[in-house]
Amino acid sequence: METLIIIVFIVGYLAITLEHNLKIDKLIPALVMMAISWAMISFGIDDFSSWFDSSKHGLVDNFEGLGHEDKMHYLEETLLHHLGKTAEILVFLLGAMTIVEIIDYFDGFSTIKGYIKTKSKKKVLWIFAVLAFILSAIIDNLTATIVLISILQKIVHDRTTRLWFAGLIVISANAGGAWSPIGDVTTTMLWIGDKVTTLNLIKYLFIPSLICTVVPVFIASFLPAFKGDLEFDEEEDNDQDPSKFGPTMLYLGLASIVSVPIFKTVTHLPPYVGMMLALGVVAIFAEIYSHSKFSLSDFDRTESDAHARHSPVHHSLSKIEMPSILFFLGILMAVAALESLGLLFGFANTLKESTPMVGTEIDGTAVSDLVVLALGVGSAIIDNVPLVAASLGMFSEPMDDQLWHFIAYSAGTGGSMLIIGSAAGVVAMGMEKIDFFWYLRKISWLALVGFIAGALGFFMTRMWF
């Protein structure tokens, strides 16, 4: 039965990786393999010789000798445990996505566009790289990529040039998301899973992530694609009437998201609680500002209906990327199925025993840097979310062990090496119709150089601290 479950997982994974070839959205195989995996576990519960207790992070003693009812009890408890942990991540992402959509409702991101005054391609490249690095740490790399490419489409009208910019935005956004607990789904998973703390994550990963951005952008600035000036369409800019509340909502929204780690540190509550508070605060101002758009001197029914239809909160909730949320649900719960059978635990032990230990001694535990680097390369081929989810079940190192920091860096930045290796890359691929092989020829080598340079930076940072 275990073999069949592994086969289901592999087939589902291949379907996710080949979604563009199969013309099937990746959320479908993710949900299917999740449901089938748990169903097979339920049917074959009496045949399994081991069970991994996630709450205690260890194998259950004498699981094979337990009765059917006791085994089903473990199954129900484990399923509920993983659903709760997954729900924490999903609710957190829903709150962050809604806040970003509210900012966009008031055209708040046009404020960023107003800061770009130069026509030099090289300078614009650095501006977008810095914005991607900073914004991704605040509003996550996926959202930052969407925002910046949307702005890019209004500034750079030549598609070939825009593809180059988009490729470097993906690299910068993924690097920026790696050093923030709210910058990438994988770092959020590690943070919510109590594997890393905010301050130590920033301390160990800010410099490596910065190197991972600066090196490829510096190299790219000398390439022919970034020589010369851009041609702005000034008439198009003048035709748009920005909302007077845009800048206010931008700063309020970003400040609210940034406050979430502080809220967690002070209250010791799960991050999604702070995110819901942040969403509530932003929503209050959004409704107030939205209501001010309508005349208060007219109280007829039409006016009230118009406001209801234009509620920024309702509008923003309707624009949330639900397929991504369901994909995360499916893939995280599918990986949890493998973890529950103790497969990941056993695989981790085999991996650590068979892989050359090239790392340093940290708190008495030898950490294999080669394994984590392989994880980073693997995240370019396979989505980094399930790889990090698997690592949570594979390793039992304590909170803030440098293994977790290196995993956060490798999984967060390694996905840049292929356009399908990260959520930021996939969304850029969709928005700009970037060809897989074009990215492989033009951008992948830049991402690889940045990844290696950042990894070396992490090794140096680890020695300093």
Residue 304 to residues 291, 318, 336: CA-CA distances in angstroms? 10, 20, 47
Indicate the SS3 state at residue 321. coil
Rg (C-alpha) for the chain, rounded Å, is 23
Q: For residue 35, name the pLDDT band (cuts at 50, 70, 90).
A: very high
Q: What is the pTM of this model?
A: 0.70
Q: For residue 366, name the pLDDT band (cuts at 50, 70, 90).
A: very low
Segments in 268-383 forming alpha helices (H): 271-291, 301-309, 312-318, 322-340, 343-354, 369-381
Separation of alpha carbons 422 and 437, rounded Å: 16
* Mean of the per-residue pLDDT values of the chain: 81
Q: How far is CA 255 from the centre of its chain?
A: 19
At 213-269, the pLDDT tens digits run 999 999 999 999 898 887 755 555 544 556 688 889 888 988 888 788 788 878 888
Contact status, residue 249 vs residue 230, Cβ threshold 8 Å? no
Q: For residue 361, name the pLDDT band (cuts at 50, 70, 90).
A: very low
In the beta sheet, which residues pair with residue 58?
53
Q: How far is CA 375 from the centre of its chain?
A: 16
What is the per-residue burial (b if ≥16 Cβ within 10 Å, else e) of 405-424?
Answer: bbbbbbbbbbbbbbbbbbbb
Instruction: Pick the more confident residue, 245 or 395.
Output: 245
Contact status, residue 362 vs residue 403, Cβ threshold 8 Å? yes
Give me the pLDDT at residue 22, please. Answer: 79
Contact status, residue 55 vs residue 392, Cβ threshold 8 Å? no
Across 73-188, the runs of DSSP E, i.e. the strands, are: none
Contact status, residue 125 vs residue 163, Cβ threshold 8 Å? no
* Tokens found for residue 324: 């991504």
Give me the pLDDT at residue 305, please. Answer: 46
At 64-87, the pLDDT tens digits run 878 888 888 888 888 998 898 888
Angle at 391 between CA 72 and CA 401, to 5 degrees: 120
Give me the pLDDT at residue 349, please. Answer: 60
Give me the pLDDT at residue 400, please. Answer: 84
* Tokens found for residue 423: 């959520």
Give me the pLDDT at residue 393, please. Answer: 67
Q: What are phi and psi of 365, to 5 degrees?
A: -115, 125
Share of the chain above pLDDT 90, in %: 21
